[in-house]
Each structure stands twice: as structure tokens, then as C-alpha cells.
């Protein structure tokens, strides 16, 4: 276990929870017709940063899959006999699905020029 990566994951989860809470508070006030100050900036930023943080994990999982396939193609080990390969594949598919869903939601909720610079 890499303590730096585990620390990163803990900080990332804390940020994900904080960003989601912030977004929901601003959204609640906006739906009531009482938008908070800077709602037009805070909501898309919180939504986009949440999505980007989650999306980084899909890149990490894809890199792990690439490394596993490199090990398999070198003939060193049959990765398809290990549970770790399937866990990594499941994590990658899950993170990609959530990231793409959030990106699609962001494009429908906010200005696309803000979401995809």
C-alpha cells in the first residue's frame, strides 16, 4: 500500500463530499428563487471539479489495466487468473460511466464553453 496514494484518495473523497454539499446548497437556494451570491460561478465550478476529480480515477484505472496487459503480453503472468484484474476492470468501467454521466449532465445544465474550455 502506497501511503501517498491512500492520502490522496482520502483528500479526494473529502473534496468530493465537500463539493457535492456545496453544489446541493447552492442548488437548493436557486430552486427556492433565492440564489446565493456567485451562484452562476459556484455551481458549474463545483459540478465540474467534482466530475474532474472522479474522472482522474478512471485514468488511473486505465493505466493500471495497461500495465496489467503489458505484464500479460510479456508472458510473465496470466492476469486473467487474478481477482485484481477484474476489480480494476470494474473500477475503470464504473468511474468512466460516472464521469461520462456527469459530463453529459454538466453540458445540459451549464454553458458548454465553461464546461469544456
Res 117: pLDDT:
66
Q: Quick: pLDDT tens for 34-75.
A: 999 999 999 999 999 999 998 999 999 999 999 999 999 999
Residue 95 contacts residue 54 (beta carbons within 8 Å):
yes
Among residues 68, 116, 117, 74, which one has the least CA distance to residue 92? 68
- Grid coordinates representing 62 are 486505465
pTM (2 d.p.): 0.84
Residue 43 contacts residue 110 (beta carbons within 8 Å):
yes
Largest CA distance in the chain: 62
Among residues 81, 79, 57, 55, which one has the least CA distance to residue 67? 79
The chain-wide mean pLDDT, for the chain, equals: 94
Q: Quick: pLDDT tens for 27-36.
A: 999 999 999 9
Res 58: pLDDT:
95
Amino acid at each position: 500500500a502506497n501511503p501517498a496514494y491512500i492520502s490522496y484518495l482520502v483528500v479526494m473523497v473529502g473534496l468530493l463530499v465537500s463539493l457535492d454539499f456545496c453544489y446541493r446548497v447552492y442548488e437548493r437556494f436557486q430552486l427556492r428563487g433565492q440564489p446565493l451570491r456567485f451562484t452562476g460561478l459556484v455551481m458549474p465550478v463545483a459540478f465540474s471539479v467534482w466530475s474532474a476529480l472522479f474522472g482522474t480515477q478512471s485514468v488511473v484505472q486505465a493505466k493500471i489495466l495497461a500495465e496489467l496487459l503489458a505484464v500479460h503480453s510479456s508472458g510473465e503472468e496470466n492476469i486473467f487468473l487474478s481477482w485484481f484484474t477484474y476489480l480494476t476492470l470494474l473500477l475503470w468501467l464504473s468511474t468512466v460511466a460516472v464521469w461520462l454521466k456527469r459530463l453529459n449532465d454538466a453540458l445540459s445544465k451549464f454553458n458548454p464553453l465553461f464546461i469544456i474550455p
